[in-house]
Structure 1
């Protein structure tokens, strides 16, 4: 359990902090100024109601029912029914860290002061995060035009319905509230819409995906450098002046990082039989990986806007004493960035697949076919290419943009969508597949190094190779490859970078 407490202001939540709240159970605290904005928006809600102004989600229905009146004596019942009727998600269920990320992002969105929910709603999100109450939430159902199909699970837990985890133990929500010393909330005007109408799920998945992608790239880079040593490859593509002349930031950073890892490697010296140039999958690694790094930087910029801005409709404007219908629930600005990164990761998938095929080919390595230690009796990596092929095919499918795939819904009043959660989930699926593919690449890389009688390795690859060989030994005879793949995958996922 983390001792860290993150101050939420509605203005400066970072992707890194989302990860700390999700995975390290960092606590949260609401700033005084942010809570004052929440109170001002709530006050405006009641003032507009007194003036007889039609307020979407307060005294009117939502969606196609926006023309239906909701009367004051029905606020609690209506808002509870809104939560129940919008609880339409399907499995699989979100993990506890994922739901914590969702709650942190939605809580920070409340603090922008444009929602109008009651302060007790805001306080309950804070308490859920700090007391370890995590609603059971489905992962699918949102079309990414506010995640109304899934976020309602948080509201149901707040009113004592549905299921939740308390200190990671699953139980009825009412029981979880009791254990935390809380009572089921009474719902007021606009509370149901405020809970449901946000892109917090999609944004949470994207924030976690960004961090997963960045860590993966660092781990993959070590595997690539070891594979280059297994190939007896060429260092020219990492030349600082060459990459500076090109001008792309990610490419230069990637090349520099690889060169540091390979400092002291035998590749720095001439070697008999070394090719003049490597296949493009090796030669262009820094450029391809660098392009993903550049895309990630753009995604981070767009996503951190989402984390610290309102996505409410209507948008309460207390300083102007009014509310206004808004398009602020449209997340396409960062969804397109997610899809761009996914396409980039798809290119990395192709590159890694080709690297695996080249390192098993004696025409490039001058080693035995499929890196067998004994041709004619040990098959070695002769069939593992099939797994690589199917994982790459999956990645091509997941990299396909999904923001264009939607129906016209709610009586054609809701006729655009972004599929934000699906786009982010697909990105994360690609990353997980890439870990498996990179695991297979590592198996090949270490085997090739061994077949070269373990020449002098780089400053960053020697320790990496040694740690790996404590988990998966040299392939001296055929054995269960699935077990080796999984052991390598677990090693990579746990390797500190």
Structure 2
């Protein structure tokens, strides 16, 4: 089987391609133009090495040690020591798909040509990705001003002194290189700083989180549509005319999707619903999902800039034959966007919880209490509310902003931080909790549909219903619901529900 090849050039990497490389094992290549750019930048570095120009992280130290000179005969030793001294990350360790995304993010920003790194470093990133040699990277310890304390562990592996996961086995990097027919890299001027100083940890992991949120909000539309059918909800809030006079893009997209999902549903028949207006958690779902979509659009646009631009300090301006100190590692624009996404997702979560509670409440649905098939004999969903509301509590806590919590460090010279890695990672935890919450809502929705004996479902909701029922049967008697929750979680993660739905609503 020929694996897909994604050619990198420093300016056209997409979030979809990051997911392809990270999760589907797509190979990467480097364009010939990008290699030429790296060679030209490297020559600039050598020219400066032979001059008296003081350059941060190159002929001078880093952080408060910027006043310390680095002489040519110590370049290899200095760059090795820079990597060793910055290996400061703490567990948990990044998953292998995250590691691939992190390395890809750094490789592509190297190809912008502002680093001055030796081309062999870029080739090493490429070969490690393609040979599935994944450095062991602790996830915590970076404040986001360049992820120096964690990306250094990649450098450690590159020089053969760290640990990696290779073909499912943890081993020394030197051993993995030997098995793959590769050699550790020999560091030269500027190489150490180029490897350790970038936003690649938060950008690589962040790109995957954005891909997951993209899927999550699509799934939320599907689950909401199922809930409407289980609830026998009022569909007038989906009327296209309402959105034409209120043209927020995100809510219009969700409303359009829900209408397609419910095409052919019994809900559109005249006189079906008895409710003039449903609870807000049902009536305003497209607006809430739309807020997530609008937030997502903002962050995606800025993440694409991050993935396809230089976050190096100092920065080579090759057209002008200059190297300048800068703050391109500052990423408050998209870090704040992730904070916004966390808050938007907390609204989606709370809304889904209220919809699920309503589904189990007879005065709203006209169905049995807790959707039991046999009142007094089967408890059904009487206690499950504790599970999904506790998960929502975690989300509410995780949605609190953390980007503004920082210290002044490095001899008081580094007095700003973004905490972008933590902000991205807590957003990922929100997404994971939401998969459970939406899954539990979907379990309620299909149970309500069965109790209602609703056989005329929408074209999209019927596809989703069939996939769910293929794994989780009708709750006719009490059973271990943790198993059902686990099954629906895995179904959602596998994209089987979304894939099935998308085939019929295109």
In the alignment, structure 1 residue 469 sits paired with structure 2 residue 469: yes
Shift of 1:456: 1.2
Shift of 1:273: 5.7
Q: Deviations over 1:93-119 (max 9, x none)?
A: 111111111111101111111101111
SS for the counterpart of 2:150 is coil
Structure 2 matches for 1:97-496, cutoff 5 A? 97-271=97-271, 274-494=274-494, 495=496, 496=498
Which aligned segments of 4 or more residues in structure 1 are displaced greater than 4 angstroms? none
* Alpha-carbon distance in structure 2 between the residues aligned to 1:272 and 1:237: 15
Q: Deviations over 1:152-197 (max 9, x none)?
A: 1111111101111223332110001111211121111111000000
Q: Is the contact between residue 133 and residue 164 of structure 1 (CA under 8 Å) also seen in structure 2? A: yes
Q: Is the contact between residue 114 and residue 317 of structure 2 (CA under 8 Å) also seen in structure 1? A: yes
SS for the counterpart of 1:154 is helix
Which of 271-280 and 303-312 deviates more?
Answer: 271-280
Residue 503 of structure 2 corresponds to which residue in structure 1? none
* Alpha-carbon distance in structure 1 between the residues aligned to 2:136 and 2:388: 35
State the TM-score, normalized to the length of structure 1: 0.98
Report the CA distance shift for 1:151/1:371 in structure 2 as closer, same or farther (over 3 A): same
Which of 75-84 and 486-495 deviates more?
Answer: 486-495
Q: Deviations over 1:211-263 (max 9, x none)?
A: 00111122222211111100000111111111111111111110010000101
Gaps of 5+ in 1: none
Shift of 1:422: 0.9
Report the CA distance shift for 1:277/1:316 in structure 2 as closer, same or farther (over 3 A): same
* Alpha-carbon distance in structure 1 between the residues aligned to 2:80 and 2:451: 67
Shift of 1:339: 1.1
* Alpha-carbon distance in structure 2 between the residues aligned to 1:2 and 1:43: 37
SS for the counterpart of 1:38 is helix
Q: Deviations over 1:32-56 (max 9, x none)?
A: 1111211121111121222211111
In the alignment, structure 1 residue 86 sits paired with structure 2 residue 86: yes
Aligned positions, number: 497
Shift of 1:407: 1.1
Structure 2 matches for 1:33-44, cutoff 5 A? 33-44=33-44
Q: Is the contact between residue 265 and residue 457 of structure 1 (CA under 8 Å) also seen in structure 2? A: yes
Q: Is the contact between residue 234 and residue 273 of structure 2 (CA under 8 Å) also seen in structure 1? A: no
Q: Is the contact between residue 2 and residue 24 of structure 1 (CA under 8 Å) also seen in structure 2? A: no
SS for the counterpart of 2:336 is helix
Q: Is the contact between residue 49 and residue 72 of structure 2 (CA under 8 Å) also seen in structure 1? A: no
State the TM-score, normalized to the length of structure 2: 0.96
SS for the counterpart of 1:470 is helix
Shift of 1:483: 1.2
